[in-house]
Every structure is written in structure tokens, then in C-alpha cells.
């Protein structure tokens, strides 16, 4: 791997890949046809008419290991104050019994969750950020406002101990927020390969620098048939000990601006700009491909296109979206 003037030069040697049976079928283009879950593209017997649930999850060292991240269809990672990151985990196809730690809303969360048209759950936040989410058409569920489904664990001290029960949160959906979400990313159809596999380069590792202290690494595991996450050099695991991983990692290069607000510790609160367009890198099936992302408005989904302007497709399965500041770094190996 070599990076020259910010441009990734890809390796030319293809590593040996032994995929899991489901991934083998995807690589071979033999996925069954029929209904699919809208956020993962995974085949489903039927898709229930229930909304997507987006939940703000903490990712400071005091919050790890988290609960329920592997059950999310999508996870978005964003830089917040002090250079730490937080997640917006989106649940639809699978509802784990418990998730957490749940933390407060940030200014970019409306743009992340608005295209889903469902519920956004968090533990608190300043009024302008909450209003932005409501104005974007989301139903907000606030722990600090007494919404059902939140509770405090005894395993950690506050504020790192707010957890939630997804089904209880979903049971509070009002009449305008009960529909299943629209597709957020395109997935490879039966008989086709994901774009990174068909047109990209073999890649074993993906190192990201979101800030000086947030440097996640994704490593392709042929045995697991997915990308495995680490926080720096430390493997990322759930509270149950399971490695955190994903079928796809989508890297969006974004501008991060200061809002003028400060947290209780005096740190400036940044905002990820998630409208407009920028560079992207898509990782699927042990391969990566460069792309462009675009999102014309808060309520519209992120579109991924290749150099010819054609849609980029992902491997069916879970997707992590890494919003890496343009001032940060993306390195493949």
C-alpha cells in the first residue's frame, strides 16, 4: 500500500479468500431472489411494516464494550467533541433485547436519520438539535423526557449507563412513523457482484484517522466473511465478547465545522456536514473501490457512484458508514 498526495495506490497481489457459504453465494451471484430487508439487502420471507429505529450510542473508552451493535443493520460513526466518536446505530431487520450505552443527540444526527423516516432515540441534547430532528420528519424518543424503554444499568456509572430495549422503543411509534424504511444503499442483485469486488482492488486492512484519538481499523477476515473492527490496535468487541464486524464499510470524506457550542467540559461541539458531495471509499468482500458520495438535502439518502456515474452496489449484509473528516486520513493495506 502507498499513499501519494492523498491518493491511494492499491496493492496488486490478491490475497487468498475463503468466504462463508452465504458470502460465497453473493460472490458467485447466486443469492436467492424475492423480498429483501431494505437496509441490508439480505433475503427475507417477508418485511414487516415496522419503522427503522436509529439510536445514539456512545463510543468513548468508558462506554466500551457496547451492547447490541452487531444486530444493527447500519452504523454511522461521527466525530464529536474532544475528538472522540459516537455511533448512530440503525435497527430494523433484527431487534436485540438490549442496546447501549445511549447518549445525547448531535447536530448531524438529523441528516443521518431523516431518510429513514422512523424513530430517533437518545438520552438528551440541546433544543436546537432536537428541533432539527423533529423538523426533519423524525419521531424523537428522549430518555430525559421520560420515554419508555430506557433504563440504567449497574455495570457503569452515569452518564455511561443508559441502555434501552428496542422493542419498547418501537412500540411507541405514532401513526406517521410506522412504515418500513426505504433502501438507503444499493445492494448487489442476484447474479451480480458488489462494485468493490467486481471493479475494485484486493484489500486486507482499512485504517482510518477520524481524529488524533479515534483511529479505527477494519481487517478483512476470510474466515468470518466480513470486516472486523478494532479501536486502534485493540479488537472491538461487544459486551458478550463477540467481535464487532460488518459486510461493508463505506467511508465518506466530509467537512467538519465548529458549531460555536461547547460541551460541559468546555470542548467545542463539531458538526459533520452531510449534505453536498465528496470522495468515498467502499469496502466489500476483501476489496475496496473509490467512489463519490452525494446527498442533496437532509431528507435524501446518500448516493454512491463510480467514476462513470453509475450506482455503487454493496454486498448484502450490515454496513458501517465511517464519516472521516477531510483533514483525517484513509489508508488501505
pLDDT in tens, 288-325: 999 999 999 999 999 999 999 999 999 999 999 999 99
Residue from 107, 64, 87 nearest 246 by CA: 87
Residue from 105, 108, 179, 176 nearest 141 by CA: 105
The pLDDT value given to residue 32: 52
Instruction: Give Cβ neighbours of residue 135 (< 8 Å, ≥ 6 apart).
Output: 110
pLDDT in tens, 47-105: 999 999 999 999 999 999 999 999 999 999 999 999 999 999 999 999 999 999 999 99
pTM of the predicted structure, to 2 decimals = 0.90
147 to each of 33, 51, 330, how far by Cα in Å? 39, 17, 39
- Asked whether the beta carbons of 250 and 299 are under 8 A apart, the reply is no
Task: State how far the Cα of 252 lies from the Cα of 76, in Å rounded to an integer.
Answer: 10
Instruction: Give Cβ neighbours of residue 204 (< 8 Å, ≥ 6 apart).
Output: 15, 219, 220, 286, 333
Domains of the chain, CATH where assigned = 14-35+184-332 (3.50.90.10), 53-170 (3.50.90.10)
Amino acid at each position: 500500500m502507498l499513499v501519494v498526495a492523498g491518493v491511494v495506490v492499491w496493492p496488486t497481489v490478491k490475497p487468498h479468500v475463503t468466504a462463508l457459504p452465504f458470502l460465497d453465494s453473493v460472490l458467485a451471484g447466486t443469492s436467492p431472489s424475492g423480498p429483501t430487508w431494505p437496509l441490508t439487502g439480505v433475503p427475507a420471507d417477508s418485511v414487516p411494516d415496522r419503522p427503522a429505529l436509529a439510536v445514539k450510542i456512545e463510543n468513548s473508552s468508558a462506554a466500551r464494550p457496547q451492547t447490541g451493535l452487531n444486530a444493527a443493520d447500519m452504523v454511522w460513526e461521527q466525530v464529536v467533541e474532544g475528538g472522540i466518536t459516537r455511533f448512530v446505530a440503525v435497527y430494523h431487520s433484527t431487534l436485540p433485547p438490549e442496546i447501549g450505552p445511549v447518549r445525547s443527540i448531535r447536530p448531524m444526527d438529523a441528516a443521518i436519520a431523516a431518510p429513514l423516516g422512523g424513530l430517533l432515540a437518545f438520552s438528551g441534547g440541546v433544543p436546537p438539535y432536537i428541533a432539527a430532528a423533529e423538523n426533519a420528519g423524525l419521531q424523537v424518543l428522549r430518555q430525559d423526557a421520560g420515554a419508555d424503554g430506557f433504563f440504567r444499568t449497574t455495570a457503569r456509572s452515569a452518564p455511561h449507563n443508559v441502555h434501552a430495549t428496542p422493542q419498547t422503543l418501537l412500540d411507541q411509534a405514532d401513526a406517521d412513523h410506522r412504515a418500513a424504511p426505504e433502501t438507503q444503499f444499493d445492494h448487489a442483485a442476484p447474479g451480480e457482484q458488489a462494485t468493490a469486488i467486481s471493479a475494485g482492488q484486493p484489500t486486507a486492512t482499512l485504517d482510518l484517522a477520524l481524529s488524533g484519538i479515534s483511529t479505527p481499523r477494519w481487517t478483512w477476515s476470510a474466515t468470518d466473511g466480513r470486516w472486523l473492527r478494532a479501536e486502534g490496535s485493540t479488537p472491538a468487541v461487544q459486551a458478550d465478547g463477540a467481535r464487532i464486524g460488518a459486510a461493508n464499510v463505506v467511508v465518506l470524506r466530509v467537512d467538519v465545522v465548529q458549531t460555536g457550542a461547547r460541551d460541559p467540559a468546555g470542548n467545542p461541539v463539531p458538526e459533520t456536514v452531510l449534505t453536498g458531495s465528496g470522495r468515498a471509499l467502499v469496502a466489500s468482500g476483501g476489496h475496496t473501490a473509490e467512489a463519490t458520495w452525494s446527498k442533496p438535502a437532509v431528507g435524501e439518502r446518500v448516493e454512491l457512484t463510480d467514476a462513470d456515474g453509475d450506482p455503487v452496489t454493496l454486498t448484502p449484509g450490515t454496513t458501517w458508514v465511517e464519516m472521516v473528516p477531510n483533514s483525517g486520513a484513509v489508508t488501505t493495506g
